[in-house]
Structure 1
Amino acid sequence: TPLSTIMSSVDLIGRYTDDARNEKVGKHVDRIRGKVRELTGILNDFLSLDKLEQGLVACHPAPFDVLDLCIGLIEEMRTLAKPGQAVHFDHSGEVREACTDRQMLSNVVSNLLSNAIKYSPEDRPIHLRTAITNGMLSIQVEDQGIGIPEKDQVHLFERFFRAGNTVSIQGTGLGLNIVRKYLDMMGGSIRFDSREGAGTTFFVEIPMTSESPH
């Protein structure tokens, strides 16, 4: 695709740039990478929604290491992060193996992390926490961002809905709607706690199963 071609070219520029002498070039390369990832995310939202609504997506549970998944996603998010932002990851307990649809879970977590980055100011931490207990995978994504106005919270998972305090921030209003659809297919659930100006925490729970619930 054109976006993947742009990203490949940017990666080549970054590879052959000596950041010690061309610090400004390196910063611009990182900025371009971030914007390409944003555009790719927007395109993927529309493609994912179309496939979901046509019934072209199926849940395929399989075992995988949830730590490896999350660490990889955090690395991917690095180019989207604002100056001073960092994602802090903590996994509780010794059980690391999850059994659900890996790609769907990846889409869910990456969407929540990208939202946390997008709606948080510079120099604010973002926390990703996971645990697997009693056959249930629990995920928390916490930010210290702009929060969600109380009057908008009931509409948050509606297609194309965007909270009133996000008008100046790029987005489609599709991400959380897609997240909920994926979680429905995995038999999972999502809720959140938010206060305007004080940040948001999303709580996801997914049962570990060897069979698709849908």
Structure 2
Amino acid sequence: MTVRRGVLAYPFSLAAILIFTGLLVFALWRLWSTEAALRTQAGDNMLWAIAQAQVATQQLDITLAQERLEEADADALALRYDVLLSRLTLLEDGPQRRYLADLGHFETIHALAERVYARENAFLSAGVRAGDAGEPLHELLAELAREIGRAANRAMVAQWNETGAQLDKQHGAIMQVIATVIVILAIGAFISWRMLAAVHAEQRAQMSLLREQEIREAYRSFVALVSHQFRTPLSVIDASMQRILRAGDLMPRAEIRQRAGRVRETVKGLTDLMQATLDSMKLEAGRIEVKKTECDIAAELETARKRQLDASPGRTIHVDTGSEVPARITTDALLFQQIVGNLLANALIYSPQTEPVTVRVRADSSRIRIAVEDRGIGIPEEEKDRLFQPFFRASTAAKVNGVGMGLHLSRRLARMLGGDLTFESRQGFGSTFTLALSL
């Protein structure tokens, strides 16, 4: 469960980092688009009011001319005049007045407006029907329009200057925010890296702890096994030697030969135990190197077969090779021999003397499979999951000499060669171990 949590921490951490980064990038994009939008905003109520006053002045002048030509009536003239009065009143009131004063145009516009107010009757009666007593209305309106136009131009320049200053200030503020977000991104990236490193370190620690527990369990099993495997053979050797020493010259030569043979078998068992232990230590330390070359599959199998028959005379090993099997494969011949030899030795040990062992070789487009079949004692169903663990021996093999390392080493070597070792077994019916290698 602890290892699973460590493994799941990676995708959850990565998802959190992606969400965090996505939100910050989105914030950057929104800030940048807002800054661009601010630069496109233009206009101001003040500029609009001045422009409207200029338009109203020009429209009154046009309507005045039309009325004289009898193309406009008195109502249209009164309407245009009222509009001009409302626009002038707007300019002379509140913030507009202060704004015009700052521009230096209020006094002039105010004086012209007063002259317009003073000629109200003349405007409404079209200059007392074109008599234009006193100052001509057209010239008064033209002068007012020119002054308002000059004020509008200066207001526009001032507005653009002010807007530019505001935009520069806003741009600076936004750039500061963007810089802050970039710093946050950098800090977030650093924190994310540290978090992933911590998760990775925790996972490695958990895996190391699990590995240590496995090694500790294997060590306990090894100690128990060695204690049993060494004590019994040494007892046999000691008993045989004591018997020979006590009997002296009185012991028949045949009995001496028999006891010497038993001692040799016992010593061989101890040697096998030490060799298996050394092989396991080399494998764990990574001192076994894979050296692949082209090998004749039939010749390698025949070599392994003869070696086992030499060690177990009187036994039978059949080799059945399919026609689809290639003549040569690329692998490490030494490790291949060790795996196949181990499987054949186990098949001979755990099956009756009268039963043959069969090696079936088959291949497809990508893999070659070497299955070693025996008709031996088989493996209990509840013990199958532990079969490849170091120093494990099935309960059905309690009466057979062994150290429980052969299958563990064989599977590890098979995987070093880029393949795998699997098995099928039924208790009381035998087992089939299959070595699969890539072609």
Shorter-chain TM-score tier: 0.7 to 0.9
Tell me if structure 2 keeps the 8 A contact 1:149–1:196: yes
Letter in 2 for 1:71: E
Q: Confirm whether residue 187 of structure 1 aligns to residue 418 of structure 2.
A: yes
Letter in 2 for 1:199: G
Q: Which has the higher helix share?
A: 2
Q: Confirm whether residue 140 of structure 1 aligns to residue 356 of structure 2.
A: no
Give the corresponding residue for 2:319: 89
Give the corresponding residue for 1:154: 385
Distance in 1, Cα, partners of 2:297 & 2:269: 24
Tell me if structure 2 keeps the 8 A contact 1:120–1:145: yes
Tell me if structure 2 keeps the 8 A contact 1:98–1:132: no
* Correspondence list, 1:1-214, <5 A: 40-81=271-312, 83=314, 85-93=315-323, 95-208=326-439
Aligned-pair CA distance for 1:36: 7.2
DSSP 3-state at the match of 2:435: strand
Distance in 2, Cα, partners of 1:117 & 1:50: 26
Aligned-pair CA distance for 1:71: 0.7
Distance in 2, Cα, partners of 1:69 & 1:41: 23
Aligned-pair CA distance for 1:39: 5.3
TM-score (norm 1): 0.76
Tell me if structure 2 keeps the 8 A contact 1:158–1:177: yes
Q: Which has the higher strand share?
A: 1
Aligned-pair CA distance for 1:65: 0.4
Distance in 2, Cα, partners of 1:118 & 1:96: 30
TM-score (norm 2): 0.38
Tell me if structure 2 keeps the 8 A contact 1:91–1:129: yes
Letter in 2 for 1:124: E
Give the corresponding residue for 2:70: none
Distance in 2, Cα, partners of 1:153 & 1:108: 19
DSSP 3-state at the match of 2:391: coil
Tell me if structure 2 keeps the 8 A contact 1:82–1:122: no
Aligned-pair CA distance for 1:108: 0.6
Distance in 2, Cα, partners of 1:129 & 1:201: 10
Instruction: Please give the root-mean-square deviation of Cα atoms over the aligned residues, in Å.
Output: 2.6
Aligned length: 181
Aligned-pair CA distance for 1:98: 1.1
Runs of at least 5 residues in structure 1 that lack an aligned partner in the other structure: 1-27, 209-214
Runs of at least 5 residues in structure 2 that lack an aligned partner in the other structure: 1-258
Q: Deviations over 1:56-86 (max 9, x none)?
A: 0111111010111111111110134375x31
Distance 1:36 1:140, change over 3 A: farther
Aligned-pair CA distance for 1:43: 3.5
Distance in 1, Cα, partners of 2:302 & 2:278: 25
Query: Rg bigger for which structure?
Result: 2
Q: Which has the higher contact order (CA 8 A, sep 6+)?
A: 1
| Percent of aligned pairs sharing the same letter | 32
Aligned-pair CA distance for 1:40: 5.0
Distance 1:36 1:82, change over 3 A: farther
Distance 1:58 1:150, change over 3 A: same
After TM superposition, the runs of 4+ consecutive aligned structure 1 residues lying more than 6 A away are 30-37
Tell me if structure 2 keeps the 8 A contact 1:82–1:121: no
Letter in 2 for 1:144: R
Distance in 2, Cα, partners of 1:38 & 1:77: 16
DSSP 3-state at the match of 1:123: coil
DSSP 3-state at the match of 1:147: coil
Q: Which segment drifts farther, 62-71 or 33-42?
A: 33-42
Distance 1:33 1:133, change over 3 A: farther
Distance in 1, Cα, partners of 2:265 & 2:329: 30
Distance in 1, Cα, partners of 2:262 & 2:305: 17
Distance 1:129 1:156, change over 3 A: same
